[in-house]
């Protein structure tokens, strides 16, 4: 049995994090408000299920293209599906074809989680509601500390404003039509999402929520770029080479934004 599913990558320009309160962790309610957009590139997940004969493990996870040094998100999603039936005699050969740099603020982990969720639902014929499929992927991100709002954003696609945090079915987005635009991305270096959020949370939340309200009023893509740049400067994610490139492009009439979190 085989199955394939694709999930687009996603860029966040600014956000406000909503984490668990009073140590009562409900991953579906954790997430972020913010704004960003999905792109054509992303992650395609291929699954081939074989009879389990002499394998020590019930699965093998490999990546094609840009490499990921962790498989915890994939393992979480797989384990959630294994709870739904009797699959002990199956061996899962999972391959993630990743066409975006990993760790550069392009939502690679969410694309891995969501594409795998859809592929597993199809190949195992679990016939889950699409919202439940999205929630499994979202919970994988939250439990593995790899992201907050990218699954919700990629689940809806396009250019979105996340107006309520949480997993699909709980979080809400408002879609914006930016028209026909072309985006060029320059990726310098990766940044740890989890580490940066922990270190900069007060700064992030102090400005991110206000920007959501402003963008809801204007619904303008150029305003989004301006806010993204302002946000990156405020939370001090900008490096010197990023600043130099942005200034050079601005002098030629080209606007820039910054992908969170990455030197992108």
Answer whether 105's CB lies under 8 Å from 238's CB.
no
**Displacement of CA 120 from its chain's centroid (Å):** 19
Nearest 5°: the CA angle 17, 22, 26 is 65
Q: Who wins on pLDDT, 153 or 222?
A: 153
Residue 207, Cβ density class (10 Å: 0-12 exposed, 13-18 middle, ≥19 buried): middle
Answer whether 163's CB lies under 8 Å from 173's CB.
yes
The yes/no answer on whether domain 2-176 falls in CATH 3.30.230.10 is yes
Per-residue model confidence as pLDDT tens digits over 192-213: 766 667 777 777 887 888 899 9
Q: Which residue has the tokens 């991100």?
A: 141
Q: Decide: helix, strand or coil at residue 11.
A: strand
Per-residue model confidence as pLDDT tens digits over 36-64: 999 999 999 999 999 888 777 889 999 98
Q: How far apart are CA 172 and CA 257, in angstroms?
A: 23
Task: Write down the pTM of the prediction.
Answer: 0.92
Answer whether 208's CB lies under 8 Å from 157's CB.
no
Pairing relationship of beta strands 172-176 and 159-164 according to DSSP bridges: antiparallel
Q: Where are the domains of the chain?
A: 2-176, 189-263
pLDDT band for 83, please (50, 70, 90 cuts): very high
Pairing relationship of beta strands 31-51 and 90-98 according to DSSP bridges: antiparallel
Mean pLDDT within 243-259? 88
Could you tell me which of 145, 140, 135 has the C-alpha nearest to residue 28?
A: 135
């Amino acid at each position: 049995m085989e199955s394939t599913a694709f999930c687009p990558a996603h860029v966040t320009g600014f956000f406000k994090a909503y984490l668990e309160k009073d140590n009562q962790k409900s991953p579906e309610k954790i997430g972020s408000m913010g704004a960003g957009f999905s792109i054509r590139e992303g992650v395609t997940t291929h699954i081939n299920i074989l009879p389990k004969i002499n394998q020590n493990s019930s699965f093998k996870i490999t990546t094609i293209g840009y490499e990921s040094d962790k498989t915890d998100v994939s393992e979480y999603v797989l384990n959630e599906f294994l709870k739904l039936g009797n699959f002990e005699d199956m061996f899962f050969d999972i391959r993630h074809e990743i066409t975006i740099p990993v760790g550069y603020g392009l939502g690679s982990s969410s694309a891995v989680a969501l594409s795998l969720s859809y592929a597993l639902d199809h190949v195992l014929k679990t016939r889950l509601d699409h919202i439940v499929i999205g929630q499994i992927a979202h919970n994988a991100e939250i439990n593995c500390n790899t992201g907050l709002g990218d699954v919700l954003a990629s689940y809806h696609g396009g250019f979105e404003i996340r107006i309520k945090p949480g997993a699909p079915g709980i979080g809400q987005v408002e879609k914006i039509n930016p028209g026909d635009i072309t985006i060029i991305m320059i990726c310098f270096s990766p940044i740890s999402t989890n580490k940066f959020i922990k270190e900069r949370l007060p700064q992030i939340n102090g400005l991110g929520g206000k920007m959501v309200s402003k963008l809801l009023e204007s619904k303008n893509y150029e305003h989004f770029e301006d806010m993204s740049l302002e946000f990156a400067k405020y939370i001090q994610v900008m490096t010197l080479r990023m600043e130099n490139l942005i200034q050079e492009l601005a002098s030629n009439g080209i606007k820039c934004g910054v992908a969170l979190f990455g030197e992108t």
